[in-house]
């Protein structure tokens, strides 16, 4: 299965923006993550349907030293996220790049 991958980026915490189109990521599949910073990162992409069911997924990981940089490659199917994709980073200087599509 081939797909065109795109990249979103955020410094610190907040919604992830596409680096080319400057639109907020939403309702997609995350295929890979690159991050640097010290502490716990949380990527959320969830929404609630009319019946109260939570759709989508959260991704949480930690980096432990100043020289850590995480390159996370996900399986071909990626991780499905619903709603706006947001990052909660440990510091305002932490960076996260998300490869999606």
Answer positive or negative: Cα dihedral of 43, 79, 28, 33: positive
- Separation between Cα atoms, residue 28 and residue 32, nearest integer Å: 12
Predicted TM-score of the model (pTM): 0.88
Q: What pLDDT tens digit does each residue of the chain (101 aa) get?
A: 566 899 999 999 999 999 999 999 999 999 999 999 999 999 999 988 889 898 889 999 999 887 777 888 888 889 999 999 999 999 999 999 999 99
Q: What CATH number is given for 7-100 in this structure?
A: 2.60.120
CA 45 to chain centre: 8
């Amino acid at each position: 299965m081939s797909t065109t991958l795109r990249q979103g980026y955020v410094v610190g915490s907040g919604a992830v923006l596409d680096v080319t189109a400057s639109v907020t990521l939403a309702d997609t599949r995350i295929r890979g993550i690159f991050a640097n910073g010290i502490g716990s990162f949380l990527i959320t992409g969830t929404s609630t349907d009319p019946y109260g069911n939570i759709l989508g997924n959260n991704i949480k990981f930690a980096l432990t030293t100043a020289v850590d940089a995480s390159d996370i490659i996900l399986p071909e199917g990626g991780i499905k996220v619903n709603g706006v994709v947001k990052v909660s980073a440990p510091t305002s200087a932490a960076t996260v790049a998300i490869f999606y599509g």
